[in-house]
Amino acid sequence: MKTVLLTGFEPFGDESINPSWEVVSRLEGVTDAEECIVCVQLPCVFGESLQVLLAAIARYSPTLVIAVGQAGGRTDISLERIAINIDDARIPDNQGYQPIDKPVVENGPAAWFSTLPIKAIVNALQQEGIPASVSQTAGTYVCNHVMYGLLHALGDKPEVKAGFMHIPYLPQQAAKHPGSASMAAETVKQGLEIAIRTALRVEFDEQITGGTMH
Amino acid sequence: MKTVLLTGFEPFGDESINPSWEVVSRLEGVTDAEECIVCVQLPCVFGESLQVLLAAIARYSPTLVIAVGQAGGRTDISLERIAINIDDARIPDNQGYQPIDKPVVENGPAAWFSTLPIKAIVNALQQEGIPASVSQTAGTYVCNHVMYGLLHALGDKPEVKAGFMHIPYLPQQAAKHPGSASMAAETVKQGLEIAIRTALRVEFDEQITGGTMH
Amino acid sequence: MKTVLLTGFEPFGDESINPSWEVVSRLEGVTDAEECIVCVQLPCVFGESLQVLLAAIARYSPTLVIAVGQAGGRTDISLERIAINIDDARIPDNQGYQPIDKPVVENGPAAWFSTLPIKAIVNALQQEGIPASVSQTAGTYVCNHVMYGLLHALGDKPEVKAGFMHIPYLPQQAAKHPGSASMAAETVKQGLEIAIRTALRVEFDEQITGGTMH
Amino acid sequence: MKTVLLTGFEPFGDESINPSWEVVSRLEGVTDAEECIVCVQLPCVFGESLQVLLAAIARYSPTLVIAVGQAGGRTDISLERIAINIDDARIPDNQGYQPIDKPVVENGPAAWFSTLPIKAIVNALQQEGIPASVSQTAGTYVCNHVMYGLLHALGDKPEVKAGFMHIPYLPQQAAKHPGSASMAAETVKQGLEIAIRTALRVEFDEQITGGTMH
């Protein structure tokens, strides 16, 4: 049986919840004939978040890893294309650490591309009526840090697919951030299930444009 | 028993559904000890939309009227403060009519304020975790047309509360409009129920800021 | 000789300058064969701003009045279509007064339409390469207050054209508000000159759509 | 004497001008005691744009290269942090070529970081009152293609500083794109001069946050 590892974050900044964990944790233990899902919460802390994630990979030997994070203000589910070797934090992490222009991995490559079939996932989400897009940047905070570290660690294991998905605020969060978009937990959960199914099913990504002009 | 009249619109432009009718129609016939809800679909047509609405008011003698419309691209449920005496259409209506700078009502006043307790409704929505705001403009298309005509017709019946609520795209619509925000039908339905309860309960609106700088 | 009265505001909020006065004051005393321009700075204060404006109208008997105000975050020069009879302040004015849902003029009409040829002005601006649009709301702060009071005072003098123009931040302001759009003072000044010329020249406004869907 | 090489693009898409060339070309031949500026226009074509750029580098042996491109819709001057090894075009280039998920350089590294002191430049621009920010993505069109190819070619010449700057529409362009921000050519030109001065003067970049949360 294949194992799918999902991660969500603990809350950070002024938030009391993190939509990534709210949604990911609903899929804990979901099992069908071929796969079972394991969920792990990551601290919103540079370094420690990666240690927890890599320990989970060592423990569960997943064939698919999708890390999920909050992107407050974004309107849709976005599949990150690439993670870059930079930590540049606008606000301190949950341990008070605020790196500026430090590498995630000393002497690591400048970036790692997601190994998820991101175009196929975005297409499947849109076909099923769930707003989705490819994102060209995962930012420079803990989300990018985790995505970079995840892909760097799996660099020599091409048989494991891995990547990062950003999700909007939940409605109850957006209610406190006037003007911000949101997405219901139920919608995000459906989206995550579609992403998992697509990632497990698709061997080669689809040739569909998902780029941006700038 | 009091009657609450809700209206939603038929689809317009390139859309095959209209979130306002998708949500409003779910409340058809909902009845409790004191109120029953009646729902009417309005055509997205200048003039005819108002005829259908005013006929429904004449027939049902509601004590509360909330007209609901689609605001593609908005992020939250917005309670309109005011309707203005102008039809200025960016695209033709569903009958092909595209008025520019015509009055909704010849020689009518320049504008009518909503008689809903809009601040109390926005506050109640936010308290219950539903993104909401006051809007200072309902635009100049059929939504504003209906709101103006509704309030103009009720001008001499202050015992009937009436106003307009704009709602975002549904997720399946936003999936076709990259970058657009959306709100799940279930969330909007909860919001509409809260708005009705608040409008029936509140006698004087709350003194909370809901303005904009410009 | 005809007199054109322009007004700009003093700075408010966290700003040390106000782009409206920065630009308006550059046109002080500009005179050609038929018109001369008079400029007055208004305090960013409910009530007092209107007293200063109405005193200037009494003194100069202008045939055209364009009040200009800052709209931090907007991208273009926007010609306001309508002012509404509401003061609803998100922040206190420069005297510390913060009205919520008070009328500008007790028992005044709900709104007054601009008597400027706003469509013709927007069209002329765009033709000359200056970003411009019609705006359906001047907000509920001192700008709307001044526009409403101005049009209310001129209600019985249809021979005087009057209205309100909102302008973006200057670049030096936007440099402190990451992500905000701006417009160079020189561009805004050209726009204001075009607006004056157009307002003096045009007798009936153009039939061009300038509305919004919501 | 040191040579500074600036590049701008020819127009693309529906535009008849490209702000990058409009501004860059104004600095052609500007010379002071220590530096002279050389300007080259690049075709908006995958592949060919890079050939022209690399030929110019071979010819002029610059110590500083700043490639400038149009970012229609952005509000400020943005200094790109990184270029990624992907061509993914939403629209065909000026030769009708529309690559999807092709590498810029076969077997090249996933990304290259700008070697400009981007934080110092952004800081200097803001100090001088010009809206500016660090950008975490140059997109996946010809701009990113040129930036990647430029940095890849200079990979073994750390003595040459190079990078990419995105600029907004000019006002005359935004006048045709309602709602889009713009920046006057004069403001962008000042910004480019500040960027050049800063890049020539600064040895190590400043430790200022310029990251994003997502």
Residue C19 structure tokens: 């782009």
Q: For residue A204, give the amino acid letter.
A: F
CA dist A91 and A101 (Å) reads 13
Q: How far apart are the C-alpha atoms of B164 and B32, rounded to whole Å?
A: 23
**D119 contacts in A (CB within 8 Å)?**
101
| Cα–Cα distance measured from residue A22 to residue A6, given in angstroms and rounded to the nearest whole number | 12
pLDDT computed for residue D127 by the predictor: 98
Q: D17 and chain C: CB distance < 8 Å anywhere?
A: no
Are C178 and D129 in contact (CB < 8 Å)? no
Evaluate whether A125 touches A194 at the Cβ level (below 8 Å). Answer: yes
For the stretch C76-125, pLDDT in tens is: 999 999 999 999 999 999 999 999 999 999 999 999 999 999 999 999 99
Question: Does pLDDT of C72 surpass 90?
Answer: yes
Pick the closest to residue A17 from A54, A55, A72 (CA basis): A72
What is the average pLDDT score of chain C?
Answer: 97
- Residues from chain D that touch A74, judged by Cβ atoms under 8 A, are 214
Has residue D9 been placed in a domain? yes
Tell me, yes or no, if D130 comes closer than 8 A to chain C by beta carbon: yes
Is the Cβ of A166 closer than 8 Å to some Cβ of chain D? yes
3-class DSSP state of D127: helix
Q: Mean pLDDT, to the nearest integer, of B70-84?
A: 98
Question: Is residue D214 domain-resident?
Answer: no
Give chain A's mean pLDDT.
97
Q: What percent of chain B has pLDDT above 70?
A: 100
> Taking the model in full, what pTM does it have?
0.97
Subunit contact C84:B212, Cβ cutoff 8 A: no
The pLDDT of residue B34 is 87
Q: Between chains, do D214 and A91 touch, taking CB under 8 Å as contact? A: no
Q: Which pLDDT does position A32 carry in this prediction? A: 86
> Given the DSSP bridges, would you call strands A2-9 and D82-84 parallel, antiparallel or unpaired?
unpaired
Contact B91 C214 (CB under 8 A): no
* pLDDT value at A156 more than 90: no
- Among D140, D166, D209, the residue with its CB nearest the CB of A136 is D140
Q: What is the mean pLDDT of residues C20-32?
A: 95
Under the banding of pLDDT at 50, 70 and 90, the label for residue A24 is very high
CATH number of the domain that residue D51 is part of: 3.40.630.20
Beta-carbon pairs below 8 A across chains A and D: 122
pLDDT reading at D33 higher than 90: no
Enumerate the residues of chain D whose CB falls inside 8 A of the CB of residue A213.
71-72, 90-91, 139, 141, 143
pLDDT band at A34 (very low <50, low <70, confident <90, very high): confident
Residue of B nearest to C74 (CA): B214
Q: Rounded distance, CA C46 to CA B115, Å?
A: 25
- Predicted confidence band of residue D32 (pLDDT cuts 50, 70, 90): confident
- The vertex-B137 CA angle with B172 and C93, nearest 5°, equals 125
Asked if the Cβ–Cβ distance from C141 to B212 is below 8 Å, we say yes
Contact across the interface for D131 and C76, Cβ inside 8 Å: no
Count of CB atoms within 10 A of residue A91's CB?
12
Q: Which residue has the tokens 């819709």?
A: D73
Compare CB distances from B184 to A125, A172, A186 and report the shortest one's residue: A186
Q: How far apart are CA D173 and CA D182, in angstroms?
A: 8
- DSSP secondary structure, B113-162, as one string: E--S-HHHHHHHHHHTT--EEEES---SSHHHHHHHHHHHHTTT-TTSEE
CB D99 within 8 A of CB D46: yes
Distance from the first to the final alpha carbon of chain B: 42
3-state secondary structure of A78: strand
- Mean per-residue pLDDT, C158-176: 97
Backbone angles phi, psi at D166, to 5 degrees: -95, 140
Contact D184 C180 (CB under 8 A): no
Q: Closest partner residue to A133 among B178, B181, B182, by Cβ?
A: B178
- From the list A82, A143, A214, which residue is nearest D84 (CB)? A82
Quick check: B136 and C140 CB within 8 A? yes
User: D with A: 3 or more CB pairs under 8 Å?
Assistant: yes
Q: Is B174 on the interface with A (CB under 8 A)?
A: yes
Q: Is C208 within the bounds of a domain?
A: no
Nearest CA of chain B to the CA of C87: how many Å?
Answer: 8
Matching residue, tokens 């992020």: B75
Residues contacting C80, CB < 8 A, separation 6+: C114, C118, C135, C137, C138, C147, C163, C164, C165, C166
Nearest to D82 among A72, A84, A143 (CB): A84
Give the three-state DSSP class for A37.
strand
| Mean pLDDT computed over B99-123 | 98
Q: How many residues does chain B have?
A: 214
Query: Quick count: other Cβ atoms within 10 Å of Cβ A13?
Result: 15
Write down the residue that tokens 């200056």 correspond to.
C130
CB within 8 Å: A141 and D112? no
Query: Any CB–CB contact under 8 A between A14 and chain D?
Result: no
Instruction: Report how far apart, in Å, the C-alpha atoms of B214 and of each of C4, C113, C138 are.
Output: 24, 16, 5
Q: Does residue D213 sit within a domain?
A: no
Q: Environment class of residue A48 by beta-carbon count within 10 Å: exposed (0-12), middle (13-18) or buried (19+)? A: middle
Amino acid D34: pLDDT: 87
A75–B182 CB contact, under 8 Å: yes
Q: Which residues of B are catalytic?
A: 80, 143, 166
Give pLDDT tens digits for D115-136. 999 999 999 999 999 999 999 9
CA count, 13 A, side-chain hemisphere, A28: 11
Cβ-based contacts of C167 with chain B (< 8 Å): none
In the predicted model, is pLDDT for residue A98 greater than 90? Answer: yes
- Predicted confidence at residue B108, as pLDDT, reads 98
Domain coverage including residue D19: 2-201
Catalytic residues of D: 80, 143, 166
List the single residue in C70, C207, C213 with the smallest CB-CB distance to B101.
C207
Q: Does D75 touch chain C (CB under 8 A)?
A: yes
Asked if A74 and D214 come within 8 Å (Cβ–Cβ), the reply is: yes
Residues on chain D touching A163 (C-beta within 8 angstroms): none
Which of these is catalytic: A22, A44, A80, A152? A80
pLDDT for the residue A86: 98
D32 part of a folded domain: yes
Residues forming beta bridges with residue A6, ordered by sequence position: A39, A66
- How confident is the model at residue D1, as a pLDDT? 86
Closest C-alpha to A144, from D207, D137, D85: D137
Residues of D whose CB is below 8 A from C186: 184, 186
Start-end of H helices in D4-87: 19-24, 48-60
Contacts of B108 (CB under 8 A, 6+ apart): B85, B148, B152
DSSP string, D132-198: EEEES---SSHHHHHHHHHHHHTTT-TTSEEEEEEE-B-HHHHTTSTT--B--HHHHHHHHHHHHHH
Residue C214 lies in a domain: no
Chains adjacent to B (≥3 CB pairs closer than 8 angstroms): A, C
Contact C75 D179 (CB under 8 A): yes
Q: Is A130 on the interface with B (CB under 8 A)?
A: yes
Query: Is residue D95 assigned to a domain?
Result: yes
In a domain, A214, yes or no: no
CA distance C189 to chain D (A): 13
pLDDT in tens, A51-66: 999 999 999 999 999 9
Q: Quickly state the pLDDT bin for A8 (edges 50, 70, 90).
A: very high
Q: Does D131 touch chain C (CB under 8 A)?
A: yes
Sequence-distant (6+) residues with CB within 8 A of B14 are none
Residues of chain A with Cβ-Cβ distance to B175 below 8 Å are 125-126, 128-132
Is the model's pLDDT at D158 over the cut of 90?
no
Are D162 and D68 in contact by the 8 Å Cβ rule? The answer is no
User: What is the total residue count of chain D?
Assistant: 214
Distance between CA atoms of residues D120 and D132, nearest Å: 11
**Residue C201 pLDDT > 90:** yes
**Mutate which: D78, D80, D208, D214, vs A, most A CBs within 10 A:** D214
Residue A158 pLDDT: 87
B88 at the C interface (CB within 8 A)? yes
Q: How far is CA A46 from the centre of its chain?
A: 15
Question: Does position B57 have pLDDT exceeding 90, yes or no?
Answer: yes
Q: Are C138 and B214 an interchain contact pair (Cβ–Cβ within 8 Å)? A: yes
A100 touching D (Cβ < 8 Å)? yes
Collect all residues with Cβ–Cβ distance below 8 Å to C142 and sequence separation of at least 6: C9, C12, C44, C45, C46, C49, C69, C89, C93
Q: Note the helical H segments in chain B.
A: 19-24, 48-60, 118-127, 142-153, 171-174, 185-201
Kindly determine whether residue D100 and residue A138, on different chains, have CB atoms separated by under 8 Å. Answer: no
Using CB atoms within 10 A of its CB, is residue D96 exposed (0-12), middle (13-18) or buried (19+)? exposed
Helix, strand and coil content of chain C, in percent to the nearest 5, comes to: 30, 25, 45
What is the mean predicted confidence (pLDDT) over C123-136? 98
* H helix runs in chain C, sequence order: 19-24, 48-60, 118-127, 142-153, 171-174, 185-201
Q: What angle do CA B4, B110, B198 make, to 5 degrees?
A: 25
Which whole number is the average pLDDT over D184-202? 97
User: Residue B164: what are its φ and ψ, rounded to 5°?
Assistant: -135, 140
Chain C residues inside the 8 Å CB shell of D181: 75, 181-182
Q: How many CB pairs under 8 A join B and C?
A: 122
D–C touching, 3+ CB–CB pairs within 8 Å: yes
Q: C139, B209: Cβ pair inside 8 Å?
A: no
Q: Quote the number of domains for chain B.
A: 1
Q: What is the pLDDT of residues B60-72, one digit of tens each?
A: 999 999 999 999 9
Q: How far is A59 from chain D (nearest CA, A)?
A: 28
pLDDT, tens digit, 9 for 90 and up, residues B117-162: 999 999 999 999 999 999 999 999 999 999 999 999 999 888 999 9
Give me A141's structure tokens. 């905070």
